[in-house]
Structures are given as structure tokens and as C-alpha cells.
């Protein structure tokens, strides 16, 4: 079977080299042809010329983008490029920084022996972040399941069949949120336990603001469900506080309105036309191996 590992990257070549080294080690003796597709998201650092050699990785391509478009859109661009230009059976998107552990590629591929037609997702059972991040992540999951009715316990680290990649390339939500789009188009998924790895080098480049946008982008994929559930909550809550209306009791309703405005604002990031034309942002494709 032919598997493409899709890696978005921005100014983190040192981590990429470490990741490729670990992947090369982990895929030894696997019954699969593993190739790497790196999406260079407009890095200001030049692509290094001294790429290490690898024994087990079949091929390495670097898609150089003209301008930075962000993590989600880099993955979307990579999916579309692979679908239109490469021969493959599955795509495994993963981050370059070490937080998606290469050791778990074997678990994903092993699961394909019995679940070859369904997306396989890495569900976090253990995280390596601090207490504040864990609290924020818990709130994100709580808000998501409350307002969308869907529990999304996975990120980009998945293994998706070609037919699912095809569907995602036609879904506008893919341009804004990978996990949200995958949840929307594929109701049935297989989960495998996953531990969040430790970054290879330096602190995370993800700001708190971008984390909020990322969370809202996932919820925004299901904005109609959010709106319906919010309206129901609005009237139920208003009925309960009818005789005790005050500035304080109205705060939850005001927060709910702001939340919905933000969700619908973020949903504008979903754009099928921009996604369909994403290849226009590709500067060139460099074949390393």
C-alpha cells in the first residue's frame, strides 16, 4: 500500500530533519511504501540544501508556497496536490515538531489491516502541555460537544483513505479546519490511543489568539447546529430567569450572542473557491528523493 505522510512546516527545518529521521527508523520492515510530502508554508528561512539521506522513506517532496496561509490551509493545499498529482492509497497528516509521535505510524498502519475503508484518528489519552493549556482544551471539548453535538477528540494526526481525501478536497470546511471537515464528511471513524509527544526544539509557535481561532474554526463547521442549540438555550434560560431579569442574569445571554457572532465570523474562512485555486499559491515543487 502507498502512504503519503503530509507535513505542514513554517521555519522549522531542524524539527523536520529530526522527524524524518524518526519516521525512517519507525517504518523499517513495515509492509507499506511511505513517502513524504512537506508543505513549506512560505517560510522565511530557505530550504536547506543538505538534506540527510534516509533508507526506508521512499520519496520526499517539498511543496513551496508563495505566501504563508497557515496550518489548516497548508494541509488542505497538500491534500489537493497529492490527490491531483500522486499515486496513493492513504494520507497521514502530521505536525513537524514532534508532538505527533512517529512511533504511532505503525499503530495507524496496523489498524488498516481490519479497517481499510474508514478514517483512523489518533485520540489523545495523554497530553504533555501545562495545566492552563489542558484546562483550555477541556473547555474547548465541552463547548464543542454542547453546541455541535459532536465529540472531536483528534487533531490533524490521522490516516485517511483516498476516497475520503477526494471528499475533503470538495468540502469548503477543509480550507478552515481539518478535524472539523473530517468529522462533517465522515460520521464513522476508528480511534487509536495516542500520546502527545514533546516538541523537538523550542516552545510552541501557536499563540493563544490562534488557539482560540483554531477552536472556533472547528465549531464553525457546524454553525447551523450551534445556532439552533443556542436559540433553544436562549429561550429556555429566558423562561427560567423571567421573574429575576437583571444585568447579571442577562450576562450569559449576551455571551451566547457574542459566541454565535464569532462562530459565524470565523466560518467565513471556509471558501471552496479559494481552496479550488490553492495550487496557484504553489511556487514550485522540489524533489529531494
Q: What is the pLDDT of residue 261?
A: 97
Domain assignments of the chain as residue spans, ordered by start:
2-125+153-203+271-287, 223-264
Chain segment 161-209, per-residue pLDDT in tens: 999 999 999 999 999 999 999 999 998 999 999 988 888 987 776 667 7
Q: What is the pLDDT of residue 13?
A: 93
Q: What is the pLDDT of residue 48?
A: 87
d(CA 33, CA 74): 23
User: Which residues, at least 6 apart from 105, have a Cβ–Cβ distance to it below 8 Å?
Assistant: 5, 23, 26, 27, 30, 34, 92
If you average pLDDT over residues 32-49, what whole number do you get?
Answer: 93
d(CA 204, CA 122): 20
Q: Is 212 helix (H, G, I), strand (E, B) or coil?
A: helix
d(CA 202, CA 230): 40
d(CA 113, CA 158): 15
Fold of 2-125+153-203+271-287: Spore Coat Polysaccharide Biosynthesis Protein SpsA; Chain A (3.90.550)
Q: Pick from 78, 113, 73: which is nearest to 92 by CA? A: 78
Question: Confidence class of residue 124 from pLDDT cuts 50, 70 and 90?
Answer: confident
If you average pLDDT over residues 20-43, what whole number do you get?
Answer: 95
Question: Confidence class of residue 129 from pLDDT cuts 50, 70 and 90?
Answer: low
If you average pLDDT over residues 22-31, what whole number do you get?
Answer: 93
Looking only at the bridges linking them, the beta strands covering 154-161 and 120-126 are: antiparallel
Query: Cα separations (Å) of 209 from 21, 200, 214, 215, 288?
Result: 32, 23, 9, 10, 35
Amino acid at each position: 500500500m502507498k502512504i503519503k505522510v503530509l507535513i505542514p512546516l513554517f521555519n522549522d527545518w531542524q524539527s523536520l530533519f529530526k522527524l524524518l529521521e524518526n519516521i525512517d527508523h519507525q517504518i523499517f520492515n513495515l509492509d507499506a511504501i511511505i513517502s513524504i510530502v512537506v508543505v513549506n508554508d512560505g517560510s522565511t528561512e530557505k530550504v536547506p540544501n543538505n538534506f540527510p539521506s534516509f533508507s526506508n522513506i521512499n520519496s520526499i517532496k517539498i511543496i513551496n508556497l508563495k505566501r504563508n496561509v497557515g496550518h489548516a490551509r497548508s494541509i488542505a493545499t497538500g491534500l489537493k496536490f497529492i490527490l491531483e498529482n500522486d499515486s496513493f492509497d492513504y494520507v497521514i497528516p502530521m505536525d513537524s515538531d514532534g508532538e505527533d509521535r512517529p512511533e504511532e505510524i505503525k499503530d495507524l498502519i496496523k489498524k488498516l489491516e481490519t479497517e481499510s475503508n474508514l478514517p483512523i484518528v489518533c485520540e489523545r489519552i495523554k497530553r504533555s502541555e501545562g495545566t492552563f493549556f489542558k484546562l483550555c482544551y477541556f473547555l474547548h471539548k465541552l463547548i464543542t460537544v454542547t453546541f455541535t453535538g459532536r465529540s472531536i477528540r483528534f487533531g490533524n494526526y490521522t490516516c485517511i483513505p483516498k476516497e475520503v481525501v477526494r471528499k475533503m478536497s470538495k468540502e469548503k470546511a477543509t480550507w478552515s479546519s481539518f478535524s472539523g471537515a473530517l468529522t462533517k464528511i465522515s460520521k464513522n471513524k476508528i480511534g487509536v490511543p495516542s500520546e502527545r509527544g514533546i516538541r523537538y526544539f523550542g516552545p510552541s509557535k501557536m499563540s493563544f489568539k490562534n488557539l482560540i481561532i483554531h477552536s472556533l474554526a472547528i465549531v464553525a463547521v457546524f454553525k447551523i447546529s450551534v445556532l439552533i442549540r443556542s436559540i433553544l438555550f436562549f429561550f429556555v434560560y429566558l423562561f427560567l430567569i423571567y421573574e429575576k431579569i437583571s444585568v447579571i442574569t442577562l450576562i450569559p445571554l449576551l455571551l451566547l450572542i457574542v459566541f454565535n457572532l464569532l462562530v459565524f465570523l470565523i466560518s467565513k474562512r471556509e471558501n471552496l473557491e479559494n481552496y479550488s485555486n490553492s495550487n496557484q499559491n504553489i511556487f514550485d515543487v522540489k524533489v529531494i528523493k
